[in-house]
Structure 1
Amino acid sequence: MFGYDDFLKFIQAFFVVYPVVTLIHLLGHIFFAGIFGGRGIRVIIGTGKILFSMRFLEVRRFYFWYGGCEFSALKYSNKLTKSLIFLGGSIFNIGSIFIVNYLIQLGILDASMLWYQFVYFSFYYVFFALLPMDMADGTLSDGKAMYKLWFNKNKDDSSADCQLIDEEKK
Structure 2
Amino acid sequence: MFGISDLLALVISAFIILPVVMFIREFGYLFVSLLCGVKNPRFTIGSGPRIFKYRFLDIRKYYHVYSWFSFDEIKRKSNFTYILIYAAPILTNVIVALTFNTLLANGFLQEQARFWNRFIFYAFFYVLFDSIPMLTTHGKPNNGMIIYELIRYGKRVDYSEDEIIPSTTQVDEDYDEEMKKVEKMQKKIEQLKSGKDEKSIPETEVVGERIQEDLTVTAENIAKEELEKELEQHDKKEGT
Normalised TM-score (structure 1): 0.82
Q: Counting strand residues as a fraction of each chain, which structure ranks higher?
A: 1
Measure, in 2, the Cα distance between the counterparts of 1:157 and 1:75: 21
* Residue 88 (structure 1) aligns with: 88
Deviations 1:145-167 (A, max 9, x none): 223334223597942xx33x286
AA matched with 1:4 = I
Question: Contact 1:73–1:167 (CA<8 Å) still a contact in 2?
Answer: no
Q: Counting helix residues as a fraction of each chain, which structure ranks higher?
A: 2
* Residue 120 (structure 1) aligns with: 121
Question: Contact 1:36–1:77 (CA<8 Å) still a contact in 2?
Answer: no
Map of 1:63-142 to 2, 5 A cutoff? 63-110=63-110, 112-142=113-143
AA matched with 1:130 = S
Residues 50 and 117 of structure 1: CA distance in aligned 2, closer, same or farther (over 3 Å):
farther
Residues 137 and 15 of structure 1: CA distance in aligned 2, closer, same or farther (over 3 Å):
farther
AA matched with 1:141 = N
Identity of aligned residues (%): 27
* Residue 156 (structure 2) aligns with: 153
Q: Which runs of 5+ in 2 are unaligned?
A: 174-240
Aligned residue pairs total 166
Deviations 1:17-76 (A, max 9, x none): 0110111111111111110111211122344x1353332333445533343210122222
Normalised TM-score (structure 2): 0.60
Measure, in 2, the Cα distance between the counterparts of 1:168 and 1:121: 31
Question: Contact 1:149–1:157 (CA<8 Å) still a contact in 2?
Answer: no
* Residue 24 (structure 1) aligns with: 24
Question: Contact 1:52–1:59 (CA<8 Å) still a contact in 2?
Answer: yes
Question: Contact 1:140–1:158 (CA<8 Å) still a contact in 2?
Answer: no
Question: Contact 2:24–2:92 (CA<8 Å) still a contact in 1?
Answer: yes
Measure, in 1, the Cα distance between the counterparts of 2:135 and 2:62: 23
Higher RCO structure, 1 or 2 (CA under 8 Å, sep 6+): 1
* Residue 57 (structure 1) aligns with: 57
AA matched with 2:95 = G
